[in-house]
Structure 1
């Protein structure tokens, strides 16, 4: 049996392939036949390039149905998909392209000048453009290709995608996900969340990371369900499309914004079956306010780039209730444990390190065997770097709530990861940019609570004697060098950073001192 993920999707296409697969915010309709023919043309183009087996296809483009088709075509042709955040700047792209050595790079027309220089400098043979208005050299070249293609045979363990995820050292790591990793997770979520062929997914997430590309898109594709496709969060489009929708996925920011809209009410959600939140912690205040406003209880879940989804609050009430402040139970086939400093499992309610096992856990980090070995225990569990507890209690203004022992609560991140608006921000990377700036001795980047983004990025900077640090100027410079979601919202100047006796910066002290924007 062909383990290619596209073959699995294809087997679930609806019998009526003239039915709508994707409806866009600007009134376009794509049938399942359109998806099949478009991915065939793109797969034929990639194959015609005579790329070596296992070649990577790196993509940094705006969201569009054609961008999704490119991902599916890459799978279909047996190559490895490498999505890149559209906010990444030249220094970041230079590292990813240099490390992954993709055979093909696809970018927006606006960025072709600098992206092509980066790509050719690292030996990439083919650079195409793709824009969100169905133009670009990729589609021009694909237009003359045949519209049928026999999906390439793949084994379970063959690579399907590489997702870059940074660590506290600042060096980005490419998480290698196989066809089995992605297929097993999609099939599990399809059943656990009750996906149906008559579902309609309101898709407002970006498609360069796990949530939008793998969780949302895979869910609809595997169910043979329609997607309503919008480029980003837009309240006007939510008000327009929600009455025709049954499933919506978003980061907590989406739900905060929805609650701020007076016209967002229970009637608007009368056709809804499921609201899912992830990629960042959902405040209990938002969880409770959403349920009171709409009558719907948001389903929170937990996953990572290295594992896709691991844990979820139940969809089926027979399996338990959805509890605010927790991310729920391990998904079927996934094992979760919480361990102490000596590697022994913690008792229920005791905080420790979250470790996981399952068919969805990645193959390893691209060209980093030593780092891969470090991240797994001797008995084969992946160390997530998150800190949490199984069971225990959730304490809120409403009082204390006992949590079942098989429910996981994430309480922190041992690797200083900041999650702002659903995007991962790694302090060391930003510190390396700041430390190079004139007048800076050193810096520390922290996350502080923020009502919209969950966490906001804040920088604390030590200046050189006699030098001045201009906060607005520093922020402006950073905006030209790194993705906007990584740029600090505030820069605080101090004489020195607090340190412990071992010389390590005490970021907990900085969070207490600068915890309010």
Structure 2
């Protein structure tokens, strides 16, 4: 049996291949036949380049159906897909390309000049362009290729994608996900969330990370269900397309913005059966207000780049209710444990470190065998770096309620990770850029509560003696070097950073100090 993930999707295409697979926000329709032929042409192009076994295809392009087809074609051709956030700047792309050594890089036409220089400097053989208006050299080259392709056989353990993530120290790490990892998770969510062939997914998420590319897209593809495809959250499009949709996935910011729209109500959601929220904590206030406004209870879940989805509130009420402030129960086939600092199981209600294992857990970090060993326990559990508990209680304005002992609540992150608007922000990376700036002695980057983004990035900077630092200039310089979602919303200049007796910066003190911003 061919374990290639695309081969699994092929078995779930609807019998009527002329049916609509993707409808775009601007009125285009793509049938399942269109998907099959387009991915065949792109797969033929890739295989015709004579790429080595296991070649990586790095992609930094705006969201479009063609960008999704490129991902699927890469799988179909047996290569490894490497999605890159469209906000990444040259210094970041230079690291990713240098580390992953892709054979092919695909970028937007507007970035071709600098991306191609970076790519060729690191030995990449081919650089193509792909734009959201269906133009670019990639599609031009693929147009003449045959529109049939025999999906390349792959085993469960063969690499399908590399997603770059990070910790609080060092540069980003490439999480290696296999065909088996992605297939097992997609099949589990298909059953657990009750996907149907007549579902219509409103897809407004980016497709360069787990949530939009894997969880949302895989769900619709595996169900043979239609997607309504929009480049980003836009309330005019929500009001237009949500009445025709049955499933929507978003980060908490999406639901906050929807509730700010007076025309958004229960009638807008008349066909909906499932709203999913993830990638950042959903405030209880948002959870309750959404239920009051629409009659729908948002389903919160928990996952990581290294594992895809791990835990979910139930879709089926027979399994339990959806409890705000929790991420629900471990998915079928996934094991989740909470342990203390010595690795001993924490009691119900006690906070500890979250460790996981299952067929969805990644293969390891790209070219980092020592780091991979560090992140797994001796008995094979992956250390997520997140802190949480089973059971306990949730406190809200309505009072305190007990949480069942099989429900997981995420309390915090042991690695200082900041999640802003659903995007992961790693303080150490931003600090490394700030510390290089003239007049800066040192810096500490923290996350502070933000009603819209969940957390906002804030930098606390110590200046060198006799130097004056300007907040606007520092932020302006960073905007030219790193992705905008990583750029601090505020920069505070201080005389010194708080430290413990070992000399380590006490970020918890800084978070308390600036929490009211």
* Fold conserved between structures, TM > 0.5: yes
Which residue number corresponds to residue 298 of structure 1?
298
Q: Does 1:47 align with 2:54?
A: no
Q: Using the TM superposition, give the Cα deviation of residue 166 of structure 1 relative to its aligned residue in structure 2, in angstroms.
A: 1.3
TM-score normalised over the length of structure 1: 1.00
Q: Using the TM superposition, give the Cα deviation of residue 385 of structure 1 relative to its aligned residue in structure 2, in angstroms.
A: 0.1
Which residue number corresponds to residue 508 of structure 1?
508
Between the aligned partners of 2:25 and 2:324, the Cα distance in structure 1 is 32
Between the aligned partners of 1:166 and 1:89, the Cα distance in structure 2 is 17
Which residue number corresponds to residue 473 of structure 1?
473
Q: Using the TM superposition, give the Cα deviation of residue 349 of structure 1 relative to its aligned residue in structure 2, in angstroms.
A: 0.3
TM-score normalised over the length of structure 2: 1.00
What's the C-alpha RMSD, in Å, of the aligned pairs? 0.4
Which digits, 9 at most, give the CA deviation of each residue in 1:21-62, with x for residues without a partner? 000000000000000000000000000001000000000000
Between the aligned partners of 2:410 and 2:253, the Cα distance in structure 1 is 18
Which residue number corresponds to residue 276 of structure 2?
276
Secondary structure, counterpart of 1:231 in structure 2: coil
- Within 5 A, what are the aligned runs for 1:441-456? 441-456=441-456
Between the aligned partners of 1:185 and 1:245, the Cα distance in structure 2 is 23
Which residue number corresponds to residue 319 of structure 1?
319
- Within 5 A, what are the aligned runs for 1:199-278? 199-278=199-278
Between the aligned partners of 2:309 and 2:170, the Cα distance in structure 1 is 24
Between the aligned partners of 2:261 and 2:267, the Cα distance in structure 1 is 14
Between the aligned partners of 1:332 and 1:429, the Cα distance in structure 2 is 35
Which residue number corresponds to residue 496 of structure 2?
496
Which residue number corresponds to residue 197 of structure 1?
197
Between the aligned partners of 2:403 and 2:379, the Cα distance in structure 1 is 28
Between the aligned partners of 1:206 and 1:294, the Cα distance in structure 2 is 25
Secondary structure, counterpart of 2:111 in structure 1: helix
Which residue number corresponds to residue 60 of structure 1?
60
Which residue number corresponds to residue 375 of structure 2?
375
Unmatched runs of 5 consecutive residues or more in structure 1: none
Between the aligned partners of 2:318 and 2:65, the Cα distance in structure 1 is 36
Between the aligned partners of 1:40 and 1:78, the Cα distance in structure 2 is 12
Q: Using the TM superposition, give the Cα deviation of residue 167 of structure 1 relative to its aligned residue in structure 2, in angstroms.
A: 1.2
Between the aligned partners of 2:401 and 2:104, the Cα distance in structure 1 is 52
Secondary structure, counterpart of 1:185 in structure 2: helix
Q: Using the TM superposition, give the Cα deviation of residue 466 of structure 1 relative to its aligned residue in structure 2, in angstroms.
A: 1.1
Q: Does 1:359 align with 2:392?
A: no
Which residue number corresponds to residue 337 of structure 2?
337
Between the aligned partners of 1:377 and 1:397, the Cα distance in structure 2 is 39
Q: Using the TM superposition, give the Cα deviation of residue 275 of structure 1 relative to its aligned residue in structure 2, in angstroms.
A: 0.2
Between the aligned partners of 1:374 and 1:280, the Cα distance in structure 2 is 25
Which residue number corresponds to residue 74 of structure 2?
74
Between the aligned partners of 2:26 and 2:293, the Cα distance in structure 1 is 29
Q: Does 1:141 align with 2:138?
A: no
Which residue number corresponds to residue 164 of structure 2?
164
Unmatched runs of 5 consecutive residues or more in structure 2: none
Q: Using the TM superposition, give the Cα deviation of residue 170 of structure 1 relative to its aligned residue in structure 2, in angstroms.
A: 3.3
Between the aligned partners of 1:320 and 1:335, the Cα distance in structure 2 is 18
Which residue number corresponds to residue 100 of structure 2?
100
> Would you say the 8 A contact 1:170–1:426 is kept in 2?
no
Which digits, 9 at most, give the CA deviation of each residue in 1:491-511, with x for residues without a partner? 001000000001010001101
> Would you say the 8 A contact 1:386–1:414 is kept in 2?
yes
> Would you say the 8 A contact 1:165–1:305 is kept in 2?
yes
Between the aligned partners of 1:176 and 1:416, the Cα distance in structure 2 is 23
Between the aligned partners of 2:9 and 2:240, the Cα distance in structure 1 is 29
Q: Using the TM superposition, give the Cα deviation of residue 396 of structure 1 relative to its aligned residue in structure 2, in angstroms.
A: 1.1
Between the aligned partners of 1:170 and 1:478, the Cα distance in structure 2 is 19
Which residue number corresponds to residue 84 of structure 2?
84
Number of residue pairs aligned between Structure 1 and Structure 2: 517
Deviant stretches of 4+, over 4 Å? none
Between the aligned partners of 2:268 and 2:306, the Cα distance in structure 1 is 36
Which residue number corresponds to residue 434 of structure 2?
434
Which digits, 9 at most, give the CA deviation of each residue in 1:340-381, with x for residues without a partner? 011000000000000001000000000000000000000000
Q: Using the TM superposition, give the Cα deviation of residue 516 of structure 1 relative to its aligned residue in structure 2, in angstroms.
A: 2.4
Between the aligned partners of 1:38 and 1:442, the Cα distance in structure 2 is 51
Between the aligned partners of 1:205 and 1:231, the Cα distance in structure 2 is 7
Between the aligned partners of 1:220 and 1:42, the Cα distance in structure 2 is 21
Which residue number corresponds to residue 328 of structure 1?
328
Between the aligned partners of 2:450 and 2:514, the Cα distance in structure 1 is 12
Secondary structure, counterpart of 2:469 in structure 1: coil
Which residue number corresponds to residue 393 of structure 1?
393
